[in-house]
Amino acid sequence: MITRRGMLKGSMGVAVGTVYSGTLISFLTGCNSDNNDTTKDNTGNGDSVTVTPGGLMVVNPILCVGCRRCEAACGWNHEGDVGPVISRVKVAHNMNYGPLGVQADYYEQCGDAGNFACVPQTCHQCNVCMEVCPQGAISVNETTGARVVDESLCVGCGYCADKCPQQTIKVVKSKMKSVKCDLCGGDPNCAQVCATGAIKFYTWDEAEEALEIYNNYTGLVE
């Protein structure tokens, strides 16, 4: 049985390539602003952010307010349009009734119709999609460590979507291609527009704690 923790651990071994380390100016408090103080990071605390290969985006459900600006910015960046299907970060699915959908006690579960915890799904940059793809269309971007889809090879068969543990890689029917988080090539738009700093890039060293918080919200509320 594949577990999230297992995949996380396993994927660390694959996330190799040219080490990319540096301060992402556009990951700061907004981009291209004539008002920006670019010494602040996305928490507003004044620290810079270092991105290393093989990291991932994780949402803190305590802070997420369900505005879906991340989803829109993802669409602007990758497809030019906006919609939940083409977005690589998945907010809508869990927004109203939590990760398990409508339950008999929906009013105690996560979501806007429940206890208000919003639990967007993000790509954990594991290897499952890459390993199951019969076309060899998914590979590791050596600069960022992200698993990326080569649309020239993808035939839209959907194996990757079926197997994705986070249910974040999806086949877009209009072009019959799988789309997934590629960390925006190291320039994650979702985090840049987040109104509360709820979604952030985590290096592997930092990710386990963030994922542990996240995973507390993916099951039924006891």
Partner 1 sequence: MTINYGGWAGKILWVNLTTNEIWTESTENYLDYLGGSGIGYKILWDHHVDGQLGTDPENVIVYSVGPLTGSGAICSGRMTVTSRSPAVPGHLITDGHIGGHIGPELKYAGYDALAVVGAASEPVWISIADDKVSIESASGIWGKGIFDSLAAITKAMGAASQCFAIGQAGENLVPMSGFMCPGGHAAGGHGAVMGSKNLKGVGILGTGTCKINATRDEMRDLDDHILGIIGSNNNNVVPSTPQSWTEYYSSGSRWKARDEITWGAADEPVELGEVAWDERNRIGYRCSMAEMYVGVEYTNKWLKRMGGCHACPIRCYCELKVPELKSRFNFKTEYYTNTCGGFIWGNYLMPTTSGTEEYALTATVGGYLRDDYGIFSGYGLTHHMFKDMKKADLFKNLLSAEEYADVPWELWDNNEPEFLVDLYPRIAFPDNYAHENILGRMMGDPATYIDVLKLDGTNPAIDNWNIYAESGVHLFNRSMKHALHHASECAGQVGSLINVIFNRDPMCHSHINIVNAGLPHDLIAEICAEQFGEGAFDPVKAYTPINEAKVKFAKWCIVKNMLHDSLTICNWVFPLVTSPDVNKNYRGDTTIEAQMYSLITGDEVTEAELDTMAERTVQLHRAFTALEMNSTNLRTDHDVLSDWVYDINPDLAFGDAGTIKMDRDDMQTALTMFYEAWGWDSETGIPTRATLESFGLGYAADKLESKGLLPG
Q: Which stretch binds partner 1 (CB under 8 A): 49-57, 95-103, 132-140, 146-154?
A: 95-103
Q: What dihedral angle (degrees, nearest 10) is formed by the CA atoms of 152, 188, 181, 75?
A: -70
Task: Find the shortest distance in angstroms from Cβ 111 to partner 1.
Answer: 8
Angle at 144 between CA 16 and CA 49, to 5 degrees: 115
Using rule CB under 8 A, residue 219 touches partner 1? no
165 touches 7 (CB < 8 A) = yes
Q: Which residues contact 47 (CB under 8 A, 6 or more apart)?
A: 41
Q: Tell me whether residue 54 or residue 111 sits nearer to partner 1 (CB atom).
A: 111
What is each CA distance from 87 to 60, 71, 78, 121, 131, in whole angstroms? 18, 5, 8, 11, 22
- Displacement of CA 174 from its chain's centroid (Å): 22
CA distance 115 to 168: 23
Contact segment (CB under 8 A) with partner 1 among 14-22, 62-70, 125-133, 175-183 equals: 62-70
Q: Contact region for partner 1 (CB under 8 A) — 15-23, 48-56, 82-90, 138-146? A: 82-90
Per-residue binding string, partner 1, 96-135, x by CB under 8 A, is xx---xx---xxx--xxxxxxx------------------
- What are the residues binding partner 1 (CB under 8 A)? 29-37, 40, 42-44, 62-69, 71-73, 75-77, 79-86, 92-97, 101-102, 106-108, 111-117, 173-174, 189, 191-197, 216
